[in-house]
Amino acid sequence: MPTPNPDAAPDASMDTLRAADPEVAEIIAREGERQESTIELIASENHASPAVMAAAGTVMTNKYAEGYPGRRYYGGCVHHDSLEQLARDRAKELFGCRFANVQPHSGAQANMAAFMATMKPGDSFASLILKDGGHLSHGMKLNFSGTFFNPVHYALHYDKSHPEHERIDHDSVRAVCREHKPKVLLCGYSAYPRVIDFAKFREIADEAGALLIADIAHIAGLVAAGEHASPFPHAHIVTTTTHKSLRGPRGGLIMTNDEDLNKAINRALFPGVQGGPLMHIISAKAVAFGEALRPDFKLYQQQVIANAKVLAASLTEHGYRITSGGTDNHLMLVDLTARDDNLTGKDAEAWLERAGIITNKNGVPDDPRPPMTTSGLRLGTPATTTRGFKEAEMKRIGAWIDQVLSAGMKGESELDKVADTVRAEVRELCAQHPLPHATRCHA
């Protein structure tokens, strides 16, 4: 990540936008100020580099390029072919695989294409249930995955005396696969703080005659840097987003080592679920993959993990419970009820935002509260690490979180006072660690 330059001139493109549409420019400027002056702890968010954002805003957006390199349905795609092939090649090098499809608009559409390539409507697949850390595209009833396919779910360990409490129960995975004989076994999660044993999942998939799909949307950056075990060669298909810990533009990616599966994936994505690719976003993906291939990206991911461990330890010291007892990656689930039975994720999220600390409410494993209330928060460190925060800052953030939540539990007047004080301190810290200048949209 380039060193931020707080004195650099604002992006000239904002001057153009301000002249053409001041109303839109003003909203974007306010969002730029919000990002610059707040601490981003949402585990699925990050701050893309100036180069990534520059690539996303280019003439590549002006072209339809339906199809794939060398096989387009429109003329004039010679440069789009070159760029898409470059993105593919960098993705393959980054993750050590033979084939990469860089066209998915999102991680959910990457999963949709992977499902369509491996299953027919009504077929069964095994996954972790959403409330325990899965993703909506892993079998939620209102999602395509639960509407057109038949999800069967394995469990976490639910035994406080068990050393694997709130971690994947591989015996449950095996039992579910033996009973239901799913076409696909899915691993990789939205809110799981521990290492995933891809080799164990492949062993179970082989026993059941299933294909293994690994959705590494959250941990892709860690995997790319060698700070988490790779799903290859174990997974038949790997899907991911390109933002989150990978720190690229919002988008998706599908990878495999199997030529036949690659052909099926390509057909399933286009024309199966998408039309023309977003070539400006593929341009930005290529830049992000190039950044992730640099040596400093590994150092960044190491700091992401170190920061997460310090934040988890700080919150534990203040009386909060981290599910599964800690974290191995970039995120953690904070069980707020250990601090106070009446404290909810909904309240905690709102109170912290008043203080300039951005989080998201999240269910904890076996949470009795509904998804819009929850008993927990999901916190992550990719964005704070991009900003340059290290262990000292993370410990300070843990203390701020406790100050705000403690004040909120005492009532509105106490919350107002403490939130205002912490908000000023957050602004000061953020000013000491400015975002890359191209993310700053000046009013």
- Catalytic positions, written as ranges: 64, 66, 215, 241, 244, 250
Contact 88, 253 (CB under 8 A): no
Residues 6+ apart with CB under 8 A from 252: 104, 105, 106, 107, 108, 109, 110, 239, 240, 241, 242
Q: What is the 3-state secondary structure (H, E, C) of the chain?
A: CCCCCCCCCCCHHHHHHHHHCHHHHHHHHHHHHHHHHCEECCCCCCCCCHHHHHHHCCHHHHCCCCEECCEECCCCCHHHHHHHHHHHHHHHHHHCCCEEECCCCCHHHHHHHHHHHHCCCCCEEEEECHHHCCCHHHCCCCCHHHHCCEEEEECECCCCCCCCCCCECHHHHHHHHHHHCCCEEEECCCCCCCCCCHHHHHHHHHHHCCEEEEECCCCHHHHHCCCCCCCCCCCCEEEEECCHHHCCCCCEEEEECCHHHHHHHHHHHHHHHCCCCCHHHHHHHHHHHHHHCCHHHHHHHHHHHHHHHHHHHHHHHCCCEEHHHCCCCCEEEEEHHHCCCCCCHHHHHHHHHHCCEECEEECCCCCCCCCCCCCEEEEECHHHHHHCCCHHHHHHHHHHHHHHHHHHHHCHHHHHHHHHHHHHHHHHHHHHCCCCHHHCCCC
The Cα–Cα gap between 354 and 328 comes to: 29
The Cα–Cα gap between 243 and 107 comes to: 10
Angle between helices 391-410 and 295-317 (to 10 degrees): 40
Neighbours of 374 (CB within 10 A): 25
